[in-house]
Amino acid sequence: MVKTDIQIRFADVDILGHVNNVNLQHFFDVGKSDFFRRIMHIGLVWKGLGLITASTQTSYFDQTRLDDRVYVETQAEKVGNKSITLLQRLVDAPTGRVNAESRTVLVAFDFARQESVPVPDRWREAIESGMAGRQR
């Protein structure tokens, strides 16, 4: 599991005084980027082989406010033939309370050919070895 600290910005907060649900998705994106770099060892500018989002499902359990200290936990839940499913949680650091949870299905994609492709073995192996070393 990869833990990514999140800096909440004033612009993330809406008129109700909490982080807007749209901005929570940005927090999850920061966690994904960290996962790609630290576990899969891939950059974030994809002109050849990369990932596209096929599905995202998010559940909200508690509010997140401007002064909260939060982090995102990201882990690979499943690696299929052409897809990787990530499970992410937005966690309140002092309490350990999960404020939101998101599950995203990402599809391996060849941007030059504009088609989905099998998950490369090097990604699959990096996920397996990287996650095994980070289990709690």
Task: Report the pLDDT value the prediction gives residue 46, as an integer from 0 to 100.
Answer: 79
Please report, rounded to a whole number, the percentage of residues in the chain having pLDDT higher than 90.
88
106-129: average pLDDT:
95
45-67: average pLDDT:
93
Q: Which two tokens stand for residue 88?
A: 């992410």
Task: Report the pLDDT value the prediction gives residue 135, as an integer from 0 to 100.
Answer: 47
Query: In residues, how long is the chain?
Result: 136
Q: Which two tokens stand for residue 53?
A: 């989002």
DSSP annotation of 2: E
For residues 100 and 22, the answer to whether their CB atoms sit within 8 Å is no
Task: Report the pLDDT value the prediction gives residue 47, as an integer from 0 to 100.
Answer: 82
Is pLDDT above 90 for 78?
A: yes
95-102: average pLDDT:
98
Region class of 79: left (phi > 0), else alpha (psi between -120 and 50), else beta: beta
Is pLDDT above 60 for 121?
A: yes
| Mean pLDDT rounded to a whole number for the chain | 93
Task: Report the pLDDT value the prediction gives residue 136, as an integer from 0 to 100.
Answer: 41
Task: Report the pLDDT value the prediction gives residue 52, as an integer from 0 to 100.
Answer: 95
Is pLDDT above 90 for 130?
A: no
Cα first-last separation, the chain: 8
Task: Report the pLDDT value the prediction gives residue 76, as an integer from 0 to 100.
Answer: 96
